């Protein structure tokens, strides 16, 4: 009985050791087959294409050479997957900041203040516990010039009994907050085909 138990234990350990090992993916050389779900490559592609289009449009070229201030509004997830749309927005913010054309504000967004510390330090105004010359004065926040909003949509199409097509659309709009006019819009479609047995949510 002990021998049988030992044999089962050794077999289990051997099988566990033969499992697929975990590796760190090099994004530059990643040749793994894409999935029907959204993955990091899709977000990077959509973000880069959107930023390139926005910069080419000339809408963020300030006539005085200064940088425009952009606030992030709401990017809606209208797919069947639970995704954090901030993954897309954050990549766009980073690229725009590095372009030198746009700076983003954390003082305002569709959900309120993005960085709660902005409000917190202002509540300290007049506090005897903090040096007066280090307290934030009134009227120092800068209003945004533009607002970025959008939506990520998903559409599933059954092509035949074995194949399905999953279409994703990354739609973004840049709005001039002074007059409410949309000055730039862009849509990045990502189309995937695969087995109808695969799940895309």
Query: Under a CB-based contact definition with an 8 Å cutoff, are residues 72 and 47 in contact?
Result: no
Q: For residues 79 and 75, what is the distance between their CA atoms, to the nearest angstrom?
A: 12
Name the pTM for this structure.
Answer: 0.78
Question: DSSP secondary-structure letter at 100?
Answer: T
Residue 165 has a pLDDT of 92
Q: Which domains does the chain have, with CATH numbers?
A: 36-105+143-201 (3.30.2300.10), 108-141 (no CATH)
HSE-up (13 A, CA, CB side) for residue 70:
31
List, run by run, the mean pLDDT of 10-residue segments along the chain (201 residues).
52 56 71 83 94 95 95 91 88 92 87 75 84 87 94 92 92 96 97 80 60
pLDDT of res. 125? 85
pLDDT at 201: 60
Instruction: Name residues whose C-beta falls within 8 Å of residue 103's C-beta, 6 or more positions apart in sequence.
Output: 67, 68, 69, 70, 97
pLDDT at 12: 52
How would you class 92 by CB atoms within 10 Å of its CB: exposed for 0-12, middle for 13-18, buried for 19 or more?
buried
Query: How much is the pLDDT for 169?
Result: 97
């Amino acid at each position: 009985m002990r021998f049988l138990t030992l044999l089962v234990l050794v077999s289990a350990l051997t099988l566990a050791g033969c499992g697929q090992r975990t590796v760190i993916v090099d994004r530059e050389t990643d040749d793994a087959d894409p999935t029907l779900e959204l993955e990091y490559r899709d977000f990077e592609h959509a973000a880069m294409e959107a930023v390139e289009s926005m910069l080419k449009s000339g809408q963020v070229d300030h006539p005085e050479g200064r940088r425009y201030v952009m606030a992030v509004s709401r990017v809606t997830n209208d797919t069947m997957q639970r995704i954090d749309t901030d993954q897309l927005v954050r990549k766009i913010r980073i690229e725009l900041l590095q372009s030198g054309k746009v700076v983003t504000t954390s003082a305002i967004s569709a959900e309120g203040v993005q960085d709660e510390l902005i409000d917190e330090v202002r509540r300290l105004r007049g506090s005897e516990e903090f040096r007066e010359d280090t307290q934030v004065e009134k009227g120092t926040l800068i209003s945004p010039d533009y607002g970025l909003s959008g939506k990520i949509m998903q559409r599933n199409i059954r092509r035949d009994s074995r194949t399905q097509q999953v279409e994703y659309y990354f739609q973004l709009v840049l709005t001039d907050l002074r007059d409410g006019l949309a000055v730039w819009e862009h849509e990045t479609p990502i189309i995937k085909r695969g087995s109808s047995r695969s799940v895309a949510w």
